[in-house]
């Protein structure tokens, strides 16, 4: 690599759809991080890779090189009290599943070294949700992250420049060159970061629908398949569920409001879809970690841990360990609260036929609860709590939901939200929560 990376030849190969040699891909990632290729050459390659996509083998080599471009957290055999397993969601609206799920799975004996990120655009991020808990620091340094994973079976860390720095560089350039939406580069981005966190197994929650990064079911399935194929090539255990993101997940959307809902789930309650997806993913994770032989047994174990209070106990312990105020569990008013609430009412009788997750996510951003750009700050208190979901019958004037807003007039947002909720004459069944499964 020191003798020089021939960027033009590398570009010609991608341009003409010739398979990259492994050493060329490794030299490319090295040049990306240490110099040896110009930014304007990287972006030309990205466009070529968008139009002539990498195959699985190329994606594997790229992912592996990106993962190794920075710190790779490793746990020695026997260092942890249980097998490692993690979950990755491709992002959605109201997707707080990591919060109940990580604690539930850790309560069942697995170890979850969870690196999470901030929200961007219409989708939220686990890091923001955790930060809405007063005092909570979800950005443990590597040594503390490893130590807590060992002690509690669960730690939350943040994506930093130390982990897979090549991905940070590539992603920023993809964002400004219209080369984000291509499966091989998405796979490399997700897996390089995920497998740098030290987990041996991952369950992928690939969202599909209006609020998802991939709106079309076929595309979401294709992404799920490639995540599994490349994970396998990396000697990692992986399963993927393709799940609905046409309407928001659960009732709450907004950082602190989602923490409240997560606590409800950890208490054995919460909205049915959030509880269901938590249990479905937990069961997959326990099987993947080798703690249960089949999904049915794993689900029983997870259900017991959820309803018996073990998962909630793990939550208390982790919140306390990372500096947060554990009293929020019994007193959610200790979480940030918005100064105003605005009821949203049904303008006509009928059935809720659609709640547009994308429009809801954009409304949250408009309220200040999400980010347009990575450097924006978020208001943890604002959000929406829905009282009705798709399929529910409503009378005129019924409460559809409550907007939690800052001091500024949220009329525009309320109007946008009203447009996101459709009421029709005929009952429409919500699509199934889990659309497909890949292993």
- Write out the residues near its own copies by the rule CB under 8 A: 7-8, 11-12, 15, 38-48, 50-52, 173, 176-179
Three-state helix/strand/coil letters over 332-350: HHHCCCCCEEEEEECCCCE
Is residue 140 classed as helix, strand or coil in its secondary structure?
coil
Nearer to its own copies, 7 or 152 (CB): 7
- Give the whole-angstrom CA distance, residue 367 versus residue 382: 7
Describe the strand order of the beta sheet including 86-89 as a list of residue ranges.
86-89, 201-208, 237-244, 434-438
Name the residue nearer to its own copies (CB basis): 9 or 151: 9
Residue with Cβ nearer its own copies (172 or 347): 172
Residue 88 bridge partners (DSSP): 204
For 46-49, which contacts have Cβ atoms below 8 Å and span 24 or more sequence positions? 46/170, 46/173, 46/174, 46/177, 46/179, 46/185, 47/177, 47/179, 48/11, 48/14, 48/15, 49/14, 49/179, 49/182, 49/184, 49/185
Which residue, 116 or 189, is less far from its own copies as judged by CB?
189
Report how far Cα 13 is from the mean position of its chain's Cα atoms: 34
Q: Give min distance, CB of 166 to its own copies, in A.
A: 16
**Smallest distance from its own copies to CB 222, Å:** 18
> Quick one: 43 or 303, whose CB is closer to its own copies?
43
β-pairing, 340-345 vs 399-405, is antiparallel
Name the minimum Å distance from CB 169 to its own copies: 11
- What are residue 157's DSSP bridge partners? 115
Q: Which two tokens stand for residue 393?
A: 């019958």
Q: Known catalytic residues?
A: 88, 167, 174, 189, 193
> Of 170 and 328, which has the nearer Cβ to its own copies?
170
Q: How far is the CB of 50 from its own copies (least distance, A)?
A: 6
State in angstroms the smallest separation of the CB of 361 from its own copies: 20
CA atoms of 106 and 86, how far apart (whole Å): 10
Q: How far is CA 203 from CA 24, 286, 312, 328, 427, in A?
A: 31, 10, 22, 29, 34
Nearer to its own copies, 165 or 271 (CB): 165
Closest distance to its own copies from the beta carbon of 123 (Å)? 19
Residue pair 96/270 in contact by the 8 Å Cβ criterion: no
Structure tokens at 49: 């890779």
Q: Give me the least distance between CB of 39 and its own copies, in Å please.
A: 5
């Amino acid at each position: 690599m020191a003798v020089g990376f021939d960027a033009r030849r590398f570009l010609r190969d991608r341009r003409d759809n010739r398979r990259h040699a492994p050493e060329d891909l490794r030299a490319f990632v090295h040049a990306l991080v240490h110099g040896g290729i110009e930014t304007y050459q990287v972006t030309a390659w990205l466009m070529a890779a968008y139009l002539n996509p990498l195959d699985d083998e190329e994606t594997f080599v790229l992912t592996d090189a990106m993962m190794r471009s920075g710190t790779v957290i490793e746990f020695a055999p026997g260092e942890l009290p249980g097998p490692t397993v993690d979950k990755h969601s491709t992002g959605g609206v109201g997707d707080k599943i990591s919060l109940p799920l990580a604690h539930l799975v850790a309560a069942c004996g697995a170890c979850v070294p969870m690196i999470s990120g901030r929200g961007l655009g219409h989708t939220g991020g686990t890091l923001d949700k955790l930060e809405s808990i007063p005092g909570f620091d979800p950005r443990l340094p590597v040594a503390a992250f490893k130590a807590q994973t060992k002690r509690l079976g669960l730690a939350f860390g943040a994506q930093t420049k130390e982990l897979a720095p090549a991905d940070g560089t590539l992603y920023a350039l993809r964002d400004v060159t219209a080369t984000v939406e291509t499966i091989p580069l998405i796979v490399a981005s997700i897996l390089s970061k995920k497998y740098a966190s030290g987990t041996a197994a991952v369950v992928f929650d690939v969202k599909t629908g209006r609020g998802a990064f991939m709106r079309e079911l076929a595309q979401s399935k294709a992404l799920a398949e490639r995540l599994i194929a490349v994970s396998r090539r990396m000697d990692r255990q992986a399963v993927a569920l393709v799940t609905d993101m046409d309407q928001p997940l659960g009732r709450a959307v907004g950082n602190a409001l989602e923490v409240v809902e997560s606590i409800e789930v950890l208490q054995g309650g919460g909205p049915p879809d959030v509880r269901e997806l938590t249990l479905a993913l937990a069961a997959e994770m326990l099987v993947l970690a080798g703690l249960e032989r089949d999904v049915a047994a794993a689900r029983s174990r997870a259900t017991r841990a959820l309803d018996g209070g073990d998962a909630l106990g793990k939550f208390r312990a982790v919140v306390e360990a990372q500096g947060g105020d554990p009293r929020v569990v019994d007193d959610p008013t200790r979480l940030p609260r918005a100064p105003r609430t605005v009821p949203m009412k049904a303008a006509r009788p009928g059935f809720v036929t659609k709640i547009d997750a994308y429009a809801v996510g954009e409304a949250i951003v408009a309220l200040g609860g999400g980010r347009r750009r990575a450097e924006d700050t978020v208001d943890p208190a604002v959000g929406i709590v829905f009282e009705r979901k798709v399929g529910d019958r409503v009378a005129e004037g019924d409460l559809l939901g409550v907007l939690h807003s800052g001091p500024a007039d949220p009329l525009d947002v309320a109007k946008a939200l009203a447009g996101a909720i459709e009421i029709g004459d005929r009952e429409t069944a919500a699509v199934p929560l889990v659309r497909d499964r890949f292993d």
